[in-house]
Structure 1
Amino acid sequence: MAEDLEVRRRPGGRSARVAAAVHEAVDALLLETGPGGFTVADVARRAGVNPTSIYRRWGSLEAVILDVEAARLAEISPMPDTGTLRGDLLEYARTAAADITRPGRLAFLQALIGAGDLTVEQRQSFLMQRARQFQGMLDRGRERGEPALDYTAIVDCILAPIYLRRLLGVSVGEPDLELFVERAFTTTQSRPAVPPIHLGRKVFPA
């Protein structure tokens, strides 16, 4: 018990090592078996930690997977800065379409869908860091005088068709990605404004 409390209290040191070991174990298991092929006990055994440490820190296996995938996305897929919002969105769409074809990379979506025991707040907490990165890209476009897109247009018109086509086994080519990006601009211009989500000091459209 004392060890578990120590793990939760300290942002660095042993806590950081435990988190890193768990992340590495989950990432390896996702590649080997997929999100439905292992348990918290498997993660703990691979990471060399007590299962109670995982439950106390994350609460569930789905939460661990979401945490791992959110961190991975932030690291390997930063928001592009090409000089135009259209260029940024197209480059991001290319990265997302390529990344999702790699083994185990549907894990984030599958874990999010299957995480029935998580509250709305818990689900959103894993997406907020990504949301802030999107906000920075959208802010740059606004500052350049480009169309003010909202996040729902990016999700609905770019990310959703990429993920859905992957789930259905349908390929996505460059013309498709260009079409998705154009739809994001067209959809935003023809729809009413959506309520914003406040992300700390910034405002991120819902």
Structure 2
Amino acid sequence: MADKSGVRPGGRSARIQAAVHQAVRELQQREAPGELTVPAIAALAGVTPSTLYRRWGDLAQLLSDVALERVRPDGEPRDTGAYRGDLRAWLEQYIDEMATEPGRAIVRDILGCAAPANAGKCAEFIRQQLDVIRDRALARGEAIVDSDTLIDLVVAPVVYRLLFSVSAPSVDHALGLLDNTLRAAFRRAG
């Protein structure tokens, strides 16, 4: 078996992935969702359809991978200097990005493939962002709420509305969930 530890990052594989992802994004801008095809993506990316099937298996997995790259955070959440402020700023940005029709389509694409790995990665991105906020607050000596509680009581209802509600979740509703969660947790902590 070949040792791949010396394989350099990037190279042809990275170029193909970048070209395919770019082709998907371009076609998503021009085509209706049902009109996107593997042959069209392959032609625009300059590869064969078999390359796409070999690497991604099917169109749903490819769309899920492209969507996952779009939700990957660019950096750490904004630091407002206070735990509650950091959480509010993160939640407002999350809803601003995800409550649009393109944002909602990204969530559907991530969940649209048979393999659940990308949904787990998406959840991990959220957890990482919340953990950064938590760690900053702990360093400042502030009381915090564990990330699982925030995911269960704030993020999950927002994602549910992204997926299943006719209207997108509002920032005010989400901030209300956050404030109720923090108030209840801090009251219990005494």
TM-score class normalised by the smaller sequence: 0.7 to 0.9
**Structure 1 stretches lacking a partner, 5+ long:** 1-8, 192-206
What does residue 18 of structure 1 align with?
A: 16
Number of residue equivalences: 181
TM-score by length of 1: 0.69
The answer as to whether partners of 1:41 and 1:51 remain within 8 angstroms in 2 is: yes
Say whether residues 1:132 and 2:131 are aligned partners: no
- CA distance, structure 2, for counterparts of residue 53 and residue 187 of structure 1: 52
- CA distance, structure 2, for counterparts of residue 34 and residue 184 of structure 1: 39
**Structure 2 stretches lacking a partner, 5+ long:** 1-6
Deviations 1:153-195 (Å, cap 9, x if unpaired)?
333333333344444233554532321221332465689xxxx
SS of the aligned residue for 2:18 comes to helix
Alignment partner of 2:54 out of 53, 56, 62: 56
Say whether residues 1:162 and 2:178 are aligned partners: no
The answer as to whether partners of 1:65 and 1:107 remain within 8 angstroms in 2 is: no
SS of the aligned residue for 2:178 comes to helix
Deviations 1:67-119 (Å, cap 9, x if unpaired)?
2223222355752221122111111121122212434221232123332x21x
SS of the aligned residue for 2:103 comes to coil
Deviations 1:109-161 (Å, cap 9, x if unpaired)?
2123332x21x456424543453333222221222233332333333333333
| Bigger Cα Rg | 2
Pair 82,113 (structure 1): closer, same or farther in 2 beyond 3 Å:
same
SS of the aligned residue for 2:77 comes to coil
Say whether residues 1:99 and 2:124 are aligned partners: no
SS of the aligned residue for 1:105 comes to helix
Say whether residues 1:150 and 2:146 are aligned partners: yes
- CA distance, structure 2, for counterparts of residue 141 and residue 89 of structure 1: 10
Alignment of 1:1-206 (within 5 A): 11-33=9-31, 36-75=34-73, 78-115=76-113, 117-118=114-115, 120-121=116-117, 123-166=119-162, 167-170=164-167, 172-186=169-183, 188=185
